[in-house]
Each structure stands twice: as structure tokens, then as C-alpha cells.
Amino acid sequence: MSFQIEYGDLTKYSADAIVIPANPDPIIGHGLDKVVYNMAGRDELLRERKAIGKLTFGDAELTSACNLKAKYIVHAISPAWIDGKHGEGELLRSCYNNILEKAYKEKCQSVVMPLLSTGILHYPREEALQIAIETCVEFTHKHPKMRVILVLYYSKGRSLIRAEQDIDQYMNDNCYAGLSDKEFKQKEKQWGDLPEYREEKMLLELMRRLYRVKQSDRHEYEKFKRNQDSSKRPFNSIGFTYQTSLERFDSYLNGGDYRKSFSQVFDEFKIKKKSGSDADVCRRAWVNQATLTHYRKEERNIQRDIIWAFAIALKLDLDETEELFNSCGMSIHGRYRLQDAEIKRETAIRYFIENKIYDMDKINSILYEKKILLLGNYGK
């Protein structure tokens, strides 16, 4: 992946070029700028910066990295936020472009940068992030050999602390329906040894193979419906909405919306939710647009985490998310085959959707704090 988004401390990265927000005048600024000067060697780096002279907003210039684990430091003059009507967006976009062009000219193969203009310059984080993603994705598409890492500072504000507390309780209640990991595994093994539950597991497996084997599965499905005992549904006790899955599978086999392809369902939701273009959705999902293009063409081997990312970007509720999963021959309820880490991750994502949290930066900030794999393939 040529472009990545990560959370962490930029000063701990090693790369050909490290970007810092700089003052237009050749002086040491505050925050990250000051930290990097101290780490690189204050006097030497300041001497090189003075040799460049005064810069204007949108500019970016390189010096040596002195004592840092890099070849260059890129001094970026990003704009402060006024009201959005003074060309701030154009200046910020120009700043990112200048950074990347200068680094490319010096044959840098890796660039690490912060999210510019946020913090003390008060640029709205969500808007600044979208500009950064758009610019970096466009540049790395033209120059795929350059690796660009956007490092986001994890700020634990009140809203995040509250969300983390809520999600802890939600995961405790929903991951294993109140069972400990050990109790859950004992129950799962017990159910797996009982013949009367094997066909119930078979149904959930069939839901993953709707398109390829629909006709051959019909016989097995009808057999299952004839023999099933409604009083024996162990999945309900560990959080599976088994009847909902059964009804959706039945609806698919007998026609209706569940015959629609992934592209059809995706486009319908994109129009319904007024989500803009494919590129707009991919930016909000933190998914490379080439991934979506590939899935539209192939419509197979679609990864579960990418579907979840699109559901977030499209602002779907859980029923709509289920429909998107069904179009790929999967279900949001098919968690019994997942590893523990995947179960926790998908439970967390369900929490975000149920609570209408669709800001990918906020979502991934919480996942990062919980040591859960980030959502979207920019974070990999």
C-alpha cells in the first residue's frame, strides 16, 4: 500500500523524509516543530533553516535531518483556519503537493507526515483529513513506488473517553453474550459435538456461498427447514440473530432484493444516502479506490472488513449493512467462524453503527486505543 494512515508518534518513525509544520520565519515554533528541533540538533537545524529564509503559506522546503533517522526534514508552511472562505483549503492542498513533489524530486522513497494545520492552527480535523487523503492518494497513484504515511496524533478527548467506556460495556455484553472466553469455547465445542445442531451451522455456511451454489443448496436448505426444531437454536444464546438470518436466506432463494449484486446494492445505497462519487465513499471509508474497482469487476473474495468500512462510509444502519453483506454472499451474523480478535473487532463496529458513529477518524482512534486492527485498508 503506497499510502497509509497510522496513529502514533511521528518522531519515532524512520523514513527518507519527515515532515514538520514550520513557521514562515526562520525561527523555532511550538509543538511538534520544537520537539523535532530538539531531537535533530537545535543549533544545526536552525542554521540550515535560516539559510532558506522566509517562506510563505503553502511552501515546503527541505533541509538535512541532522540527528534524526531520516535523510531530510521537510519544513511545511501550512495555513491557519480563519473561516474557510479565505482560500485555506487551496493553500493546504498546495502545501501537501509541494511536500510530496519536493520529496519525489530528491528521490525519497518514504515520507512520514503529520496532519497539518490542525491543533493550534485550528483547521477542522475532519476537513483537514479529507484534504490530506485526497492529495496523498492522488500523488501515490501517480508515483506508486513512494510510500507516504500520514501519522495522526491520538488525542483522548472527553467524547472519546465516553465512547471507549460505552464500547467496553457493549463488547462485554455482546461479544460472547456475557460468557467468558473460556465458557464460550466450552459451549462452542459442546454444540459442535451435537448432531442436531450441525444443520443449523450448515445453514450459516450456505449463506456464504449464495451465488455459486444457490441451486444445489436449495435441496439441503429445504431439508433443513423440514427437520429443524424451533426450540433448539443455540446461536440465540451467544448473540446470533438466527431467525433473522433464516428469513433473509429464504428471501434470497425465493427471489427479491437478495439477488442483487454487490455493485447494485452499493450504488443503490450511494444514491439513497447521497454519498457522492465512488472516490468520496472510498475516502470516507479509508479504502483505496482501486479496491472498490476490483470488487466491482470481480465481485468475489470481498473482505469482510472492507464491507464494514463501506457501511460506515455510506452511513448504513445494521439492516442495510446486512443487505450489503448479503450481496457478497455473507452475513453480519456469521461470526461463529471468526477468531476472537475478529469477533471483538466486528462487535465494536456494530456498536459504532448502532450509535450512528460514522467518523472513520474517531472510529479508528478508539480501535487504536483498544489495540484492535484499524478499519479500511489505508490503515494496513
pLDDT exceeds 70 at position 31: yes
pLDDT at 232: 44
pLDDT exceeds 80 at position 205: no
pLDDT exceeds 90 at position 282: yes
Q: Which of 9, 16, 25, 33 is the catalytic position?
A: 33
Full-model pTM: 0.71
| CATH H-level, domain 3-153: superfamily | Leucine Aminopeptidase, subunit E, domain 1 (3.40.220.10)
* Nine cell digits for residue 232: 433448539
Question: What is the rounded average pLDDT for all residues in the chain?
Answer: 79
Cα Rg of the chain, angstroms: 25
pLDDT at 2: 87
Residue 290: strand, helix, or coil = helix
Distance from C-alpha of 330 to C-alpha of 324, rounded to nearest angstrom: 9
Residue 25, strand partner residues = none
Q: What is the pLDDT of residues 335-362, one digit of tens each?
A: 444 566 777 888 889 999 999 999 999 8
Phi, psi of 355 (to 5 degrees): -100, 15
Q: Which amino acid is at 255?
A: G
Range in 92-96, 165-169, 255-259 with the lowest mean pLDDT: 255-259
Q: What is the pLDDT of residues 44-90, one digit of tens each?
A: 999 999 999 999 999 999 999 998 889 999 999 999 999 988 999 99
Confidence class of residue 380 from pLDDT cuts 50, 70 and 90? low
DSSP class of residue 237 equals G
Distance from C-alpha of 337 to C-alpha of 208, rounded to nearest angstrom: 11
Specify whether 280 is catalytic.
Answer: no
Of the ranges 97-106, 156-165, 205-214, 221-230, the best mean pLDDT one: 97-106
- Closest CA relative to residue 15, chosen from 114, 155, 153: 114
pLDDT greater at residue 185 or residue 166: 166
Q: HEC string of 159-204?
A: HHHHHHHHHHHHHHHHCCCCCCHHHHHHHHHHHHCCHHHHHHHHHH
Residue spans of the domains in the chain: they are 3-153, 158-380
pLDDT exceeds 90 at position 251: no
pLDDT exceeds 90 at position 19: yes
